[in-house]
Chains A and B, each alone.
Chain A
Amino acid sequence: MICDIVTPEKMLYSGEAVFVSAPAAEGEIGFLEGAAPLMSTLKRGEVRIKESDSSDSVHFAVAGGYLESDGRKIVVLANHAMNVADVDVELSRSRIAENEKRLLELSPDDSRRAFCNEEISWQKHLIALSER
């Protein structure tokens, strides 16, 4: 089974997998070779990919987008995705601080708030996963 994780910027991951678990709309879903075709929106969470029976899983933080599986190939099209091992906690913290500062400056009904809030929750998600 092939698993691809695609972000707006690039193909983040593409490789052979024996087991993939992902945060689908109605809960965590695990996929094995030959799973029934499914298309689901993606919640904020974590995609775990087991490349072979003996290896440890690779963990990716993801948020937004969808996943598509036809039993042979899984495509995770995520708005945000990052390998948990690559998370820079310091950088995430500074992003949070930056956006919190911006939120203070914006009026409560400003449409620019949506982005700041999303960015903050994404960075917090990254920190939570990497510190686990």
Chain B
Amino acid sequence: MANLRDIKKRITSVESTKQITRTMEMVATAKIRRATDRIVAATPYATAMVEVLQAIAKRTSGAQSPLLAEHAEVKKVAVIVIASDKGLAGGFNSNVLRAAERYIRELVASGTEFELIACGKKAQAYLNYRKYPISLTFRDQSADPQSAQAREIASLVIDEYTSEKIDKVVVFYNHTKNVADQVQTSEQILPIESVTYHEVGEGESEAVYTDESAKAAAAKSAALTDARVAAADISQADEMADFDYEPSAEDVLAVLLPSYVETRIFHALLDSAAGEQGARRKAMKAATDNATEMVTTLTRIYNSVRQGAITTEITEIVGGAAALEE
């Protein structure tokens, strides 16, 4: 049987692990709030942009922007993989990385070339280890994505797409369904598939909200989305028709499409950042619960071992005393 001191040592060690996981859980909870706030802050830009694009798309008949044009043959695909910088977030990274790798394997099998953009240390490490070439890497930004990062990715893929170096751009990331759940998602960024542009607004309105004020903001952004869709359907086409476009509606569209690509990438980064915190909180909560359970079990063992030792000692004393009497 294990000796008392060893058990005591283990209890102390599990206790301190528990303290760490519980702290991490609380930190993640606080960060979810911040990540959510950032999504809410990014909403006005996204909704305004979608609004305008919809209005212009109605005026221009199938604008000939190179970003809308599909390439006849897909020879090379750019894959943007968004994971996190830090682990300890359950299946958060492995889900998205595995999905991305499966996709890369399919590309290789079909003889298509690929190019990788890795966001987050974990993505970089995973892809590097498997000797996949990476053309752009971002580190230490996964928890707090900046628009410059999205701009850099967008600028790269747009340049390559328009110069026909690549024929398709796909992004792999974790979409935050709610505080506890992340869904591994992949989206096609280029060519831009439709001019309905619903994704941006929708993503925002179903994002995660942890407290009342954030909920209010969510309701507001959902209302915005609804209003936007309704307006786009009925009045906006007429209303927008009165606008003077400078230089022309087509030119405005041509300028806005790259920004739209950027917005979608930025949104994926923000979405993933919120998901990372959610996943970490969930993982750390599970770890804390497990630690608590383990401490209970160990304490029970400790007590029974101690009791056993005491009993043995008493039996020995009583036995000894009895032997002396005789």
Contact = CB atoms under 8 A, between A and B. Distances in A.
Interface of A: 4, 6-11, 24-26, 36-41, 64-66, 68, 70, 75, 77, 79, 111-112, 114-115, 118-119
Contacts of B245: 38-40
A115 B246 contact: no
B319 interface: no
A37 B148 contact: no
A74 B251 CA distance: 20
Contacts of A111: 155-157, 159-160, 163, 165
22 contacts: A4-B44, A8-B147, A8-B266, A9-B45, A11-B44, A24-B246, A26-B246, A37-B243, A39-B245, A40-B247, A41-B246, A41-B256, A65-B255, A65-B256, A66-B252, A66-B255, A77-B45, A77-B52, A111-B165, A115-B152, A118-B151, A118-B155
Interface in B146-171: 146-148, 150-152, 155-160, 163, 165
Nearest to A68: B52
Contacts of B294: none
Contacts of B152: 112, 115
B42 A40 contact: no
A115 B151 contact: yes
Interface of B: 38, 41-42, 44-45, 48-49, 52, 135-136, 146-148, 150-152, 155-160, 163, 165, 240, 242-247, 251-252, 255-256, 259, 262-263, 266
Nearest to B166: A111
Contacts of B42: 8-10
Contacts of B156: 111-112, 114-115
Q: Which one of B150, B155, B156, B262 has the highest number of Cβ atoms from chain A below 10 Å of its Cβ?
A: B155
A6 B151 contact: no
Contacts of B266: 8
Contacts of A70: 243
Contacts of B52: 39, 66, 68, 77
A81 B245 CA distance: 22
Nearest to A67: B246
A119 B149 CA distance: 11
Contacts of B155: 111, 114-115, 118
A41 B150 CA distance: 21
A118 B41 CA distance: 24
Contact of A25 (B49, B151, B157, B246): B246
A7 B159 contact: no
B244 A36 contact: yes
Nearest to A119: B148
A7 B220 CA distance: 19
Contacts of B243: 37-39, 68, 70
Contact of B150 (A8, A38, A65): A8
B148 A40 contact: no
Contacts of B163: 111
B45 to A, nearest CB: 5
B246 A10 contact: no
A40 B249 CA distance: 9
Q: Which one of A6, A66, A77 has the highest number of Cβ atoms from chain B below 10 Å of its Cβ?
A: A66
B232 to A, nearest CB: 15
